[in-house]
């Protein structure tokens, strides 16, 4: 029974709870047991079994009174970037130590308001800086998938690698995640899950530890397109505590799932055909185009001429904002403190001990590009490029309703393969960073397997605040792809 409870989708679980086939407590316990048996994946950095069971029992009581809420009894994993009241929140870093917030992030508060249950906090790249989940102070997450005939541990992608791995391995019915340059979509692609980065401002950033404030956006990782729509509907909403939160109504996202896509026009950006892209990615992309045509879409080639400048612009803007945001971690008010003879020495010793190598690298890059002699040459120029990229999308969206591209340039790669080469790691974001620079919504869903039996993702990019069309198109692709593959549960051995 336990395996049956954890392997179902969120939508199926809600139906089962409503029909009284099982209780929220039984559902939570089944997931807690699965988590305990899957510690080899290192997906969770903190398990909260007592809190999970208490929340589940409260959910069962509401349902018995006929007061069930939209997500009542649904067990979720929470990326450790989200502050959770009274529960350790570290952003995957040593510098936050045993920090226990006295407040709840708006996104998680919305989920608890709707009856969801917290299973624990999920592993992630330190301060969301990474594309492989290898920069975490708690060690790397291991992808539940393995190449055919190989025991080599694979990366789940990052920074939301714990979220993606937990959902793929049935350790949660869904998970919160964040996306600054692809950190929802790339791990979703590498683990055969669905992830959506909504429009910038759709979900509140209040209570989410900041990496790059003009790029960060929260979203869900889930087992299906419909599950992602259900979760996003709860996570979204205007928040007066976040000055970048958009004062707009939350649409009925699940209502778009399954709608006909006949007559929609989808663009294929020619600049996303990059040199050295594996033939399997190219083949999947072409297959995705055919699926959309078969569903009644018109597909046309379009141009986003500034795409090639996106990665360098992103890796100037994001570190610049990170260097500013991470200045607050000084060992004075909370988290790690390394005592030293003077105040300046204490700052330096605390940051040297508390930050990992990748975080130090990005803070140094950010401080450099913001310095007086280089601000105009780097940061200001990168912001002008960002404007051009946004203009490219605006021009294209006058002609088409959405774009279809690959999500990532490869399937899951081995742990340790790219860690020594930061530039190789940064190239994992080549298809995803443009969307963050322009503030647009984008969704990744599994489209098929490569020759080694590893999942590959397709990406849909939409107009600002038009997540509904993405769910509409994604459900058509999901139906056509009929992706049913699951990782073999080697971690239970």
Contact 241, 206 (CB under 8 A): yes
Spatial separation of the C-alpha atoms in residues 122 and 45, rounded to whole Å: 6
Beta bridge partners of 405: 459
Distance between CA atoms of residues 25 and 472, nearest Å:
33
Token pair 């200045």 in the structure block, residue? 327
Containing H/E element for 78?
A: strand 75-79
What's the per-residue H, E or C state across 140-191?
CCCCCCCCCCCCCCECCCCCCHHHHHHHHCCCCCEEEEEECCCCCHHHHHHH
The label of the residue with tokens 């086939």 reads 21
Nearest CA among 378, 359, 367 for reference residue 316: 378
Q: Which of 11, 79, 197, 223 is catalytic?
A: 79
* Contact in structure between 68 and 166 (CB atoms under 8 Å): no
Q: How many Å apart are CA 6 and CA 249, to the nearest integer?
A: 33
Rg (CA), the chain: 21
Structure tokens at 328: 């607050």
Tokens 């459900």 sit on residue = 475
Q: How would you list the strands of the sheet with 75-79, edge to edge?
A: 44-47, 117-122, 75-79, 174-179, 217-222, 194-197, 442-449, 455-462, 402-406, 265-269, 298-302
Q: How far apart are CA 54 and CA 70, in angstroms?
A: 18
Phi/psi for 449 (5° steps) reads -115, 150
H/E stretch holding 473 reads helix 467-481
Q: How far is CA 154 from CA 484, 489, 491, in A?
A: 20, 14, 13
Selecting among 89, 131, 132, 183, the annotated active-site residue is 183
Cα separation, 471 vs 337, in Å, equals 46
Cα–Cα distance, 267 to 459 (Å, whole number): 12
- How far from each other are the two terminal CA atoms of the chain, in whole angstroms? 19
Residue tagged active-site, from 93, 136, 159, 189: 159
Q: Is 159 a catalytic residue?
A: yes
Nearest C-alpha neighbor of 446 from the set 222, 274, 240: 222
Of the candidates 366, 417, 461, the one whose C-alpha atom is nearest the C-alpha of residue 157 is 417
Query: 475 and 467 in contact (C-beta within 8 Å)?
Result: no
Number of helices (H), then strands (E), in the chain: 16, 11
The residue written with tokens 């340790």 in the block is: 416
As a whole number of angstroms, the distance between CA 121 and CA 42 comes to 11
Name the residues annotated as catalytic.
79, 159, 183
């Amino acid at each position: 029974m336990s395996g049956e409870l954890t392997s179902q989708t969120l939508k199926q679980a809600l139906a089962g709870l409503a029909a009284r086939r099982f209780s929220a407590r039984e559902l939570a316990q089944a997931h807690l047991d699965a988590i305990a048996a899957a510690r080899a994946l290192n997906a969770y950095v903190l398990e909260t079994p007592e809190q999970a069971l208490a929340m589940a029992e409260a959910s069962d009581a509401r349902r018995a009174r006929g007061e069930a809420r939209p997500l009542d009894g649904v067990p979720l994993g929470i990326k450790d970037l989200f502050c959770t009241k009274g529960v350790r929140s570290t952003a995957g870093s040593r510098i936050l130590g045993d920090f226990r917030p006295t407040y709840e992030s708006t996104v998680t508060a919305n989920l608890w308001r709707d009856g969801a249950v917290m299973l624990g906090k999920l592993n992630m790249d330190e301060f969301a800086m990474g594309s492989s989940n290898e920069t975490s102070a708690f060690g790397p997450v291991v992808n539940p998938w393995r190449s055919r005939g190989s025991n080599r541990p694979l990366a789940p992608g990052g920074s939301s690698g714990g979220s993606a791995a937990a959902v793929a391995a049935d350790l949660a019915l869904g998970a919160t995640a964040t996306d600054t340059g692809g950190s929802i979509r790339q791990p979703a692609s590498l683990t055969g899950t669905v992830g959506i980065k909504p429009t910038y401002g759709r979900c509140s950033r209040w209570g989410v530890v900041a990496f790059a404030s003009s790029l960060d956006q929260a979203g869900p990782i889930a087992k299906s397109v419909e599950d992602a729509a259900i979760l996003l509907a709860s996570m979204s909403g205007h928040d007066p505590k976040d000055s970048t939160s958009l004062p707009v109504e939350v649409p009925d996202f699940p209502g778009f799932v399954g709608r006909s896509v006949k007559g929609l026009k989808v663009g294929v950006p020619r600049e996303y055909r990059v040199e050295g892209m594996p033939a399997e990615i190219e083949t999947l992309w072409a297959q995705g185009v055919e699926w959309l045509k078969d569903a009644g879409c018109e597909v046309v080639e379009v141009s986003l001429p500034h795409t090639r400048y996106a990665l360098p612009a992103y890796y100037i803007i994001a570190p610049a904002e990170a260097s500013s945001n991470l200045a607050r971690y000084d060992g004075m008010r909370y988290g790690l403190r390394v005592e030293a003879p003077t105040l300046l020495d204490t700052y330096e010793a605390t940051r040297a001990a508390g930050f990992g190598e990748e975080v130090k690298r990005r803070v140094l890059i950010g401080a450099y590009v913001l310095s007086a002699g280089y601000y105009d040459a780097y940061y200001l120029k990168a912001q002008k490029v960002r404007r051009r990229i946004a203009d490219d999308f605006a021009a294209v969206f006058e002609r088409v309703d959405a774009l279809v591209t690959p999500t990532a340039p490869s399937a899951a790669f081995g742990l340790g393969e790219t860690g020594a080469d930061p530039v190789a790691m940064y190239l994992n974001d080549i298809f995803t960073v443009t969307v963050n620079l322009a503030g647009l919504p984008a969704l990744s869903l599994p489209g098929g397997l490569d020759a080694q039996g590893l999942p590959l993702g397709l990406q849909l990019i939409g107009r600002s605040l038009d997540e509904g069309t993405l769910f509409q198109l994604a459900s058509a692709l999901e139906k056509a792809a009929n992706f049913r593959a699951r990782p073999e549960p080697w971690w239970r051995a």
